[in-house]
Homo-oligomer: A and B are copies of this chain.
Amino acid sequence: MDLYSGHINRLVEELASLPGIGGKSAQRLAFYIINMPKDRVAKLTKTISDARENVHYCKVCCTLTDDEICPICANEKRDHRTIMVVENTRDLAAYEKTGKYEGVYHVLHGAISPMLGVGPGDIRLTELMHRLQTEDVDEVIVATNSSLEGETTAMYISKLIKPTGIKVTRIASGVPVGGDLEYIDEVTLLRALEGRTEL
């Protein structure tokens, strides 16, 4: 598309290459940015660079953090004997939002997917096993997604950990709270049935 000037075209292309931003949104964003005050543009680019430069993986749980060790791992009030394994930092944040989980986390940064060529070596499993060998852990709660990849990863982790004698659990899958049965897929309905508990 050579409708705009070189700088505008390059900006539109660059923005359109980001996930979830289509061609039209990229155009709208580009013109918005060009009309933004210069200091706001400077702030935007600085925030982007700073985040990219200064965010690291926590040395313990591998989540993304500004520090060597993330605030959760550094918090002595948390239960360090319970580790919840999640696929990414957004999932960690989702559980933190509940405010009820007292344990710590381990972030895999992905899930095993033979389809996408992601093997066990591509996610942070070595780090998890190292923690189990060096820390005193009572339970590993596998909270990977309830997708094919998430389930495969959960199975793999359980097989890996079982020989160590540490308890491995999986979060329940079933009907979401407030979910209307008629709109829920069959697999979820069957899962909910299998996972039924006594009242």
Contact = CB atoms under 8 A, between A and B. Distances in A.
Given A29-B19, A32-B18, A51 B8 contact: yes
Copies of this chain assembled into the complex:
2
The binding surface of chain A is classed by DSSP as: helix
A116 B102 CA distance: 50
A20 interface: yes
A66 B28 contact: no
A34 interface: yes
A7 B54 contact: yes
Interface stretch (A38-46, A131-139, A165-173, A185-193): A38-46
A10 interface: yes
Interface in A63-116: 64-67, 70-71, 88-90, 93, 96-97
A34 B65 CA distance: 11
Contacts of A18: 29, 32-33
30 contacts: A3-B93, A3-B96, A3-B97, A4-B93, A5-B64, A5-B66, A5-B70, A6-B66, A7-B47, A7-B50, A7-B51, A7-B66, A8-B51, A8-B55, A10-B47, A10-B50, A11-B48, A14-B44, A14-B48, A19-B28, A27-B90, A30-B51, A31-B90, A33-B51, A34-B51, A34-B52, A38-B53, A41-B52, A44-B48, A45-B45
